[in-house]
A = this chain, B = another copy of it.
Amino acid sequence: MTTHADIRIIGFDADDTLWDNEPHYRALEKVFCDEMKDILPPEESSAELFRTEIGNLPLYGYGAKAYTLSILETALRLSNDRLPAASVGRILEAGKKLVDSPLRLLDDVEDVLKRLSTRYKLIVATKGDLLDQERKLRKSGLEPYFHHIEIMSDKQGPDYRKLLRHLDIRPSQFLMIGNSLRSDIIPVLTLGGYAIHIPYHTTWLHEKIEAVELPPERFRKFDSIAEIPDRCSWIN
């Protein structure tokens, strides 16, 4: 028998937890690799882009604008500063499409939010760009279920500590649900909170981590968000 948990607020990651995101980034990456195809094979262009992205993270952070700027920088470098203006134009245009890409909710998300929102305060806790995430939330039709969005510049221990202070709750009163072990699960468990991992079918390389032991009394992993309300004793 588990002791009764005292969860007050449930945080949901947004991209690839509530809605599709990674495929849109991969589509822009493909535009970039196509522009580079006379210079490098796609997997090498991708590897170069990843290097640029990680290098720029402290400066640019996450999101579509950061990604577009990193692509332009990589394209310039790989083309030895001979990038045709037309390529710049196509990349900028594809970057705009990424910012405003259509939104597809993941299965069962709305049902689960509807059930949980009657008993808990729900928030969106996401990295990325506030404007982008607000736009997606509006498009999603999920706004009524959430108290507000928390945009975090990163999702590591200190960021969650700041979040909890801001929410004015103890770690044991917080449950985080998301697709990234690295960003949604491990830092929250480490602080003493609860976490549910719902893997998405693809994971951005930067979010991949080695297997780790997670505390079974505060951690669950489900294949679908639909399993949460019935299979998770903390929130019954």
Name A residues whose Cβ lies closer than 8 Å to a Cβ of B: 59-61, 65-66, 68-69, 72-73, 76, 79, 81-86, 88-89, 92, 95-96, 99-100, 129-131, 134, 148, 151-153, 162, 165-166
Contact = CB atoms under 8 A, between A and B. Distances in A.
A60 B67 CA distance: 13
Contacts of A162: 148
29 contacts: A59-B96, A59-B100, A60-B65, A61-B129, A61-B130, A61-B131, A65-B65, A65-B69, A69-B92, A72-B72, A72-B92, A73-B92, A79-B85, A81-B86, A82-B85, A83-B85, A83-B88, A84-B85, A85-B85, A129-B129, A130-B130, A130-B151, A130-B152, A130-B153, A131-B153, A134-B153, A148-B162, A148-B165, A148-B166
B131 A99 contact: no
A228 B130 CA distance: 31
